[in-house]
Structure 1
Amino acid sequence: MSRLNAPSPDGVSDGAKGILDNIDAQFGFVPNMFATLASNPTVLDVVMPLQGSLSRVLDAKTRHTIALAVSQANGCDHCLAMHTYASSELGGMSSDDIALARAGSSVDPRRAAVARFAQQVVKSRGQVSDADLAAVRGAGYTDPQILAIVTVAVQVLLTNFLNNVNRTDIDIPAVSPAGTPG
């Protein structure tokens, strides 16, 4: 059960209501995480534009791969469900590629390198080794792209932390728990 309270629909500010309406239009429903964030419109107004801005830094499948890899490494069941849903329904990723991303890999060698790197960023708390950087560069990523990978990983960590603190009720089709990829 969620530990933080989401406001009733009548208790949502006009600005937050507009954001939630956009989320509803995109997904066909408002996931519990966003409904809860609406209790603090400033936080919602930070998270949503950040996600929007970062949607332009890397291609969608790479961003989804990072989100799945990071959410798995950080043990966020709500985010795994959300990113699995988004990766499959909106991102065109296969169930095999989703499972591989959770395990720090991919059917695509470049995205496999990104998944491994993103998980290493989480596990090392950003203290990646020269070999970790060499591996992601060896897959063809430039330094500006590596900055984007780290920034997307940190944005995913933000929502992981929010959902882990809240223990947000999963209102998305369930996936296997964070401890079991795939």
Structure 2
Amino acid sequence: MSNEHSMWQIVGLSQVATTVVTSSSGLQNTDNVQTEPVTLPLTSWKSSFTSFNMVSGSCACRYIRYTTTIPPDTLVSCHCVECRKQSGAPYQAWISFPADDITWTVQPTEWRSSDTATRSFCPRCGSTMTIYLDKDVSRTGVAVGTLDDDGKTGVPRPAAHIFLKEKASWFELPDDGAKRFQGWDE
């Protein structure tokens, strides 16, 4: 396993999402006429932010809140043991923001979770908040479940599933079109 790349870099999306999403079935218009399959750049979701002001989120008890003025750009689902144990789910979905663009009402409590990452959580309710990867300190991975669901966050589709070699054996991963890696980039 190579630790030379962050989870954002391995999917080729260190700054802006560029993955192509293709609909193989095409679309039906209002006259029920089948059209050709559609290929859209994943970045097209950003065009819906004509009146975008900020993304916000919080922990479960709302003691910790955050905002960022930049729309999220990359969603990565991590299946490593640490992410599964922290989330209590088959994987942890992380969304990437520039680290210096997040404003916190209260700083989350940080702890060193491995030799490659530092995580944070709310000291009151225990909600997982962030992950900071040593290899890419310019980015912050925010737990997707902490985003306020106001319909304006523009969460992109998953770009990649990583650490599938540690995936829970009982979990069947559906084909969502995302890249798949056994580790960081293999």
TM-score range, shorter chain: under 0.3
Whichever of the two has the greater Rg, that structure is: 2
Q: TM-score, normalised by structure 1?
A: 0.27
